[in-house]
Amino acid sequence: MTILDWTARFKGTAELPMEVRERLNKSAHVTQIKTGDQVFGPMNIPDSLFFLYEGRIRVSQTSDMGREIVLYRIEAGDSCVLTTACMLAEEAYNAEGIAETDVTVVVLPKPAFDRLSSEEDAFRNFVFAAYSRRLIDLLRVVDDVAFGRIDVRLAERLLTLGDGLKEVRATHQDLASELGTAREVISRVLNDFQKRDLIEQSRGLITFKDKAGLRAIANFA
C-alpha cells in the first residue's frame, strides 16, 4: 500500500513544517496487520514508532494471575504513547497491543526517530505533546480503577461501546478486562441492570432497553 503523504492524516504531523513532513514521508514505511494479530508484546523492545493510519488497537496488561486490564485504545490518527516511552527509555514493553480491526500502520524506524527528535524542534514538541495527552488518559484509568464506582464505570462503558447501537457484543469477561475488575463483579452489576429493566442479556450480547436510565447512572459521579 502506498500513501503519498501520510502526515496529512494526523493532526499533530499535519501541523509540522513542510520540510519536517517531507523527512517523515521519506523515512517511514506503511505496513498492514490483520484483526486479532499482535502488534507488540511484553519483553519486545520497540525498534520503531508507529502511527495508526486506519483501524483500532487495544493496549492491555495482564497480571501474573491472568487478570487483564485494558489500558487504552489507539484509534486512527493516533500514535502509541507506550512505544514512545519504551523507545526513549530503551526498555521492553510491559503490555500487549492487539489489532481489534484490520489496521494500516505507518512505521518510523528508531534511527530516523532519533535524528528527527534531535534535529527538529517541531517534531520533538509534537512527540512530547502526544505523550503528555496519553499519559493523562492513563492516569484517568488508574483513578477509575482505584476509586470509581463499578456501576457508574460499567454504565459509561456500555454507552460508549453501544454509541448509536441497540446492542453490544461483549462477554462478561470482556467487560471485566475493559474495567480492570473480576468477571463475577461484572456479572453481579449486569444482573442488577437487567432486574432494573435497563438491559437484556443473552450469551455474548447485551441489548439496551433504557439508555436514559444508564445515562443517569453514568452521570451520577
pLDDT digits (tens, 9 = 90+) for 129-145: 888 877 777 777 777 76
Q: Which residue has the cell 513544517?
A: 17
Query: What is the sign of the dihedral through the CA atoms of 156, 162, 167 and 168?
Result: negative
**Could you tell me if 59 and 97 are in contact, meaning their C-beta atoms sit under 8 angstroms apart?**
yes
Given a cut of 90, whether residue 66 has pLDDT beyond it is no
**Phi and psi angles of residue 137, each rounded to the nearest 5 degrees, phi first:** -60, -40
Q: Which fold has domain 148-218?
A: Arc Repressor Mutant, subunit A (1.10.10)
Question: Do the domains 6-146 and 148-218 sit in the same CATH topology, yes or no?
Answer: no
Confidence of residue 190 (pLDDT cuts 50, 70, 90): very high
**Superfamily classification of domain 6-146:** Jelly Rolls (2.60.120.10)
Return the domain boundaries, the chain. 6-146, 148-218
Give the pLDDT score at 81. 82
Helix axes of 110-119 and 18-27: crossing angle, nearest 10 degrees: 160
Give the pLDDT score at 221. 47
